[in-house]
Every structure is written in structure tokens, then in C-alpha cells.
Chains A and B, each alone.
Chain A
């Protein structure tokens, strides 16, 4: 069964900490994405990557960075966590070619991050 795995389901961090959220996919997908999900705001794109060592800003990149050193792994980094970054973080991956991409994204189960 193909999967996108997010390393933590729940995470509690202190303000000012550097936080790493890890995402690994086993489908050899080219594209990987990080979204945050907040009530009433839906899913908002933070960063995405089309290839190894490549990254593009999404709609809300401020306060975040990413790393993609290997095709299967896409890490989201909160440089200095703040309380307004308390949210559900969702990782997704997809094939490079949407025409043959079937269902588009495959999502992980999410990481619920609380910054105190």
C-alpha cells in the first residue's frame, strides 16, 4: 500500500524552538507539498518541491523553510516556533505528470503541532 508517512502525529513545542516536521513517501513521486490546515481557512500551501534540492514558496512561507535532500523525504522547518504556528500540518506527494496522476495528491495523516 502506497504511503506518505509523517513522523509525528502530535507534537508540543515551546515558543522559540526550532521544529522539524518530517515527511517520507514511498511512491517515487516527484512532487511534495506542505500544507497547514486551520479551521475556516482550509488548506494553505506553505512550500512545495518538484525535485531533489528544489523548493518553491507557496502562499504562506513566512516563518518556515524546507529541505529536500532525497527524493522520498521532504522536511518542514519552523525556524523559531511561535504560537500562531499552532496548526495541523499535512504533507502530500504527487506524480510529476498530472495527466497520468490519477488521484492527484496522496496525503499523510498529518501532524498536529501545538506551540506553547
Chain B
């Protein structure tokens, strides 16, 4: 079974604070792919990052960083020095190697950055 859990439903931070969005996943596949998407108020989900299970390197892209921990089945997302434009709903998603091309999404974390 494939499952993604985003335990944080809503988070509010003050601008310039750092914030971490948690993602825990479950899969029996040995090869799988993890994703983060951002959904701004406009509604369209935008791809942020993809991580393959066989690549445990963490990644940094500007103010965004991702921490992939296979041992704890987690793929957490940190925004450093948050900005108002970061306000959005963020989804973590999983695709297993044996599940065709279907993605499994978490329930999303709504982030509000207060100016």
C-alpha cells in the first residue's frame, strides 16, 4: 500500500522565519519517487522537486531545502527566511515503481506567511 501523511494541516509563520513542512510516506516498493508541489491561491499545482529513492542526497534550491531520510520514511521541506509569496498549500506525493503512473498525495499543508 502507498500512503503519504502530512500531519500539519495549517501553519502560520511571520515573514523571515524558517518553516519546515513534514512528509512521511509508506510504501513496499524498493524503488519509488517523492515529490513536492505548491498550490498558490490561483489553484494550479506547481512542481517543486522530485527525489528518487535511490538518491538520498539532500537538496537546496535558493531558500528551499529538502531532507530525505529513508530510515524514517520522511521527506521534509524547509523554507528559509519565509516570504509572503510562500503562502500556499503544499502537497507531498509518492509514486511507487509498481503502481503504474498513479501518484499518491498527502492531504496538504496550508502555509500562511504573515507580513
A25 beta carbon closer than 8 Å to chain B = no
A96-B106 contact in complex given A104-B93, A105-B47, A109-B42, C-beta closer than 8 Å: no
Total contacting residues, chain B, CB less than 8 A: 23
B45 beta carbon closer than 8 Å to chain A = yes
B55 beta carbon closer than 8 Å to chain A = no
Q: For the complex, what is the distance from the CA of A96 to the CA of B45, rounded to whole Å?
A: 20
Residue of chain A at shortest CB distance from B52: A99
Q: Which of B33, B46, B95, B106 is within 8 Å of A42, CB to CB?
A: B106
- Provide the main secondary structure of the chain B interface: loop
Is the CB–CB distance between A104 and B102 below 8 Å? no
How many residue pairs at the A-B interface have CB separations less than 8 Å?
A: 61
Is the CB–CB distance between A41 and B107 below 8 Å? yes
Quick one: CB contact mask for B19-36 with A, threshold 8 Å, 1 for yes?
000000000000001010
Quick one: CB contact mask for B75-115 with A, threshold 8 Å, 1 for yes?
00000000000000001010100001111011110000000
Q: Which of B44, B95, B107 is within 8 Å of A107, CB to CB?
A: B44
Distance of A43 from chain B, by nearest CB (Å): 4
A98-B42 contact in complex given A104-B47, A104-B95, A105-B47, C-beta closer than 8 Å: no
- A-binding residues in B (CB < 8 A): 6, 9, 33, 35, 37, 42-47, 50, 91, 93, 95, 100-103, 105-108
